[in-house]
Structure 1
Amino acid sequence: MTRVVVVGASGFIGSHSARALAERPGVVVTAASRTPVARSAGTDGAESTIATVAVDLLDPASLAGAFVGADVVVHAASYVGKDAALSESTNIDGTANLVAAAHDAGVTRIVYVSTTSVYGTGPHRGVRVGDVPPRPESAASSDRHAAEGLVRDAGGVVLRPNLVYGAGDRWFVPALAKLTAGLGATIDSGRARISVVSADDLGRLVAAVALHPDVEKGSVLHAAAPEPVAIAQIHEALSAALGIPVPSRTVTVEQARAVLVPAAASEHQLALVTLDHWYDAEPAWNLAGDAPETAFSLTEAHKEWYRRALS
């Protein structure tokens, strides 16, 4: 048996990671979170096999108790807002506490889910790990990069997704739909190509990295679909699946900026959907296998979630 504790298991990425791990034979999963872990129908009843425990990244005693007997800790608890003090305490101090507790409990591997935002604003095209030096531009991105260093120094592994979609997504598709509806137009005809990954596939990548015996200690992997997708293709997929109309007109990036920044979007948010941001994830899929054939594909569960989220 391999025992895995998923910290942040009540969150978007953590919940999918816990479920993917629980579906693996011979894996015992504990979902650790500061807030209650929601129960939902998992594939083949996987949810019913997941134990739960209350933890707080800023309470080392709660972490120590949760990690006893664990082989792997998955760290999927990050702060992504604008409060600089909360970002530092959660992302840096909290990660330091997690790393120390894991060490004290004899945990052999930590997997940290970070973000490609540590690279800063693009354009980025086909970037492999090491091609672009980190240049975080926000407190949250800077602190998450610092957290990466803590994990890697302890021999852990870092996964960097770009944009994540699927059931539970409150940031990517809802924001894109709101931005487009507010403009009544697409931006630059939706030419920008970006790396995306469904939360289900990201969970599979987390599980693969957590359980694979040959992942290099201290390594970094990009977590994305194998190929990038154009923003225009996402608009078309949302239209076909959810009936969201694709505007017939387009505006330039400069025109969009004049309307959106800072009223409805930040420069960073605008850059995410107007500049290329795509990253080479082949090393991660070499570990996981069974890579998705389509970068952006909505399952029935995704559609149900977005119908509610966008209503």
Structure 2
Amino acid sequence: MHFLLTGGTGFIGQRLARRIIERGDTLTVLVRRTSKRGPLEALGARFADGDLLTGQGLTEAVKGVDCVLHLAGVTKARDEEGYIQGNTEGTRRLARAMAALPQPPRLVFCSSLAAAGPSVPGQPRREEETPAPVSRYGRSKLGGEEAVREFCDKVPSVIVRPPIVYGPGDQEFLPALLPMARRGLVLKSGLGPKHYSLIHVDDLCTALLAAAERGQTLRQDAPEVGVYMVSDGTEYRWEDFCVTLAEALGRTPPWVLPVPEALSYVVGLGSELAARVRGTVPMLSRDKVREMRCAAWTCSPDRAAKELGFTPAIPLAQGLQSALAASK
């Protein structure tokens, strides 16, 4: 099978690229001229020059492949337009280029639980529920899903929505938590309990490849068909997750300090202003705080299990150990 992979230089993309090559499949990675190709070259990947922000090179890149795995996008941006261009319009340009082919390949879009929106503790999100994103990031990922749907009559398409993804190569989730966990003090936004779904990056790669091979494709008359939530199947309280992380570090369980939501917004605003002065993207923003204040970000992988045969293989404790070992 010949795959075209976008986002191949990122956290998930590099793990997926390795999996594809190890399976014996052919891999072409969409790259810009400034992309770092070294690790992918070492794997034996091919390259296609293209830019999702302009559409340049996409028509040629999608020719002759069996499946496009679309992982490219942004998790942080200076403003809403940055999210829209990175997650919505880039996806639309790719789907449009595929639709122009006489026989378009399959498209698997790696979206996010953020596109569906938060859940309720004990009631994980399911595919048939109406999406209700609460952040710019979530709305832009939902916009990407809608862009894929625009062309699904011509392009056979599947959407995968993962929750928090962690594992070797993670540059955002665990790196932000580890300094606090090592000090024995971890923050959470708000006073109430927080519940989360998680998935190890290697399990996500398994789900994406299963979607490429066996996933039902989108239908205009049935919005839930062709959409798959994936997770390791467990709903974690934030405090319990922090205990498991501390055990992986060989530390005592940390103290979890609730931060009032109003203070979280002030900190987010301060981070935005500081980033504006530096000309960078803020690590924490008010938009991210809107996600953090929600009581639950959980999803049910039941449909993926039934239709894709997806079974997560990596429990949290083992997954954290692998991530920590890779970061040393």
Bin for the TM-score computed over the shorter chain = 0.7 to 0.9
Task: Give the counterpart of 1:95 among 85, 88, 91.
Answer: 91
Q: Give the corresponding residue for 1:85.
A: 81
Is it true that 1:208 corresponds to 2:205 in the alignment?
no
Task: Return closer, same or farther for 1:267/1:112 CA change in 2, 3 Å cut-off.
Answer: closer
Q: Give the corresponding residue for 2:276.
A: none
Please give the alpha-carbon distance, in whole angstroms, between the structure 2 residues aligned to 1:303 and 1:277. 24
Task: Give the counterpart of 1:114 among 111, 114, 125.
Answer: 111
Moved more, 264-273 or 73-82: 264-273
Task: Return closer, same or farther for 1:158/1:85 CA change in 2, 3 Å cut-off.
Answer: same
Decide whether the 8 Å contact of 1:193 with 1:275 is kept in 2. Answer: yes
Report the Cα offset of residue 121 of structure 1. 4.1
Please give the alpha-carbon distance, in whole angstroms, between the structure 2 residues aligned to 1:4 and 1:49. 13
Report the Cα offset of residue 13 of structure 1. 1.7
Please give the alpha-carbon distance, in whole angstroms, between the structure 1 residues aligned to 2:142 and 2:38. 29
Structure-to-structure mapping, 1:152-231, within 5 angstroms? 152-155=149-152, 156-177=157-178, 184-185=185-186, 187=188, 191-212=193-214, 215-218=216-219, 219-231=226-238
Please give the alpha-carbon distance, in whole angstroms, between the structure 2 residues aligned to 1:128 and 1:281. 8
Task: Give the counterpart of 2:26 among 21, 28, 32.
Answer: 28
Please give the alpha-carbon distance, in whole angstroms, between the structure 1 residues aligned to 2:148 and 2:309. 21
Give unpaired runs (5+ residues) of structure 1: 42-46
Task: Give the counterpart of 1:279 among 296, 299, 320.
Answer: 299
Moved more, 79-88 or 184-193: 184-193
Which residue type is aligned with residue 97 of structure 1? R
Report the Cα offset of residue 226 of structure 1. 1.8
Give deviations 1:16-43, integer Å, cap 9, x for gaps: 2222233334x211122222234179xx
Please give the alpha-carbon distance, in whole angstroms, between the structure 2 residues aligned to 1:256 and 1:40. 44
Which residue type is aligned with residue 232 of structure 1? E
Give deviations 1:191-241, integer Å, cap 9, x for gaps: 5331100111111111111122x5233421112112222322322222222
Please give the alpha-carbon distance, in whole angstroms, between the structure 2 residues aligned to 1:246 and 1:109. 46
Report the Cα offset of residue 126 of structure 1. 1.9
Moved more, 69-78 or 113-122: 113-122
Task: Return closer, same or farther for 1:38/1:199 CA change in 2, 3 Å cut-off.
Answer: farther
Decide whether the 8 Å contact of 1:168 with 1:305 is kept in 2. Answer: yes
Report the Cα offset of residue 142 of structure 1. 1.4
Give unpaired runs (5+ residues) of structure 2: 220-225, 269-283
RMSD: 3.0
Decide whether the 8 Å contact of 1:234 with 1:296 is kept in 2. Answer: no
Report the Cα offset of residue 178 of structure 1. 5.1
Task: Return closer, same or farther for 1:113/1:130 CA change in 2, 3 Å cut-off.
Answer: same
Task: Return closer, same or farther for 1:180/1:273 CA change in 2, 3 Å cut-off.
Answer: farther
Q: Give the corresponding residue for 2:12.
A: 13
Is it true that 1:53 corresponds to 2:48 in the alignment?
yes
Report the Cα offset of residue 160 of structure 1. 0.7
Give deviations 1:149-169, integer Å, cap 9, x for gaps: 121332311111110001221
Query: Match of 2:90, SS?
Result: helix
Decide whether the 8 Å contact of 2:167 with 2:201 is kept in 1. Answer: yes
Decide whether the 8 Å contact of 1:189 with 1:232 is kept in 2. Answer: no
Please give the alpha-carbon distance, in whole angstroms, between the structure 2 residues aligned to 1:186 and 1:306. 22
Task: Return closer, same or farther for 1:273/1:51 CA change in 2, 3 Å cut-off.
Answer: farther
Task: Give the counterpart of 2:247 among 219, 240, 248.
Answer: 240
| Identity fraction in percent | 22
Report the Cα offset of residue 179 of structure 1. 6.0
Please give the alpha-carbon distance, in whole angstroms, between the structure 2 residues aligned to 1:189 and 1:138. 21
Is it true that 1:261 corresponds to 2:265 in the alignment?
yes
Report the Cα offset of residue 300 of structure 1. 5.3
Q: Give the corresponding residue for 1:37.
A: 37
Which residue type is aligned with residue 70 of structure 2? H
Please give the alpha-carbon distance, in whole angstroms, between the structure 2 residues aligned to 1:306 and 1:231. 22
Report the Cα offset of residue 284 of structure 1. 1.6
Task: Return closer, same or farther for 1:250/1:39 CA change in 2, 3 Å cut-off.
Answer: closer
Is it true that 1:135 corresponds to 2:155 in the alignment?
no
TM normalised by structure 2 equals 0.78
Which residue type is aligned with residue 51 of structure 2? D
Decide whether the 8 Å contact of 2:52 with 2:94 is kept in 1. Answer: yes
Please give the alpha-carbon distance, in whole angstroms, between the structure 2 residues aligned to 1:204 and 1:149. 24
Query: Match of 1:60, SS?
Result: coil
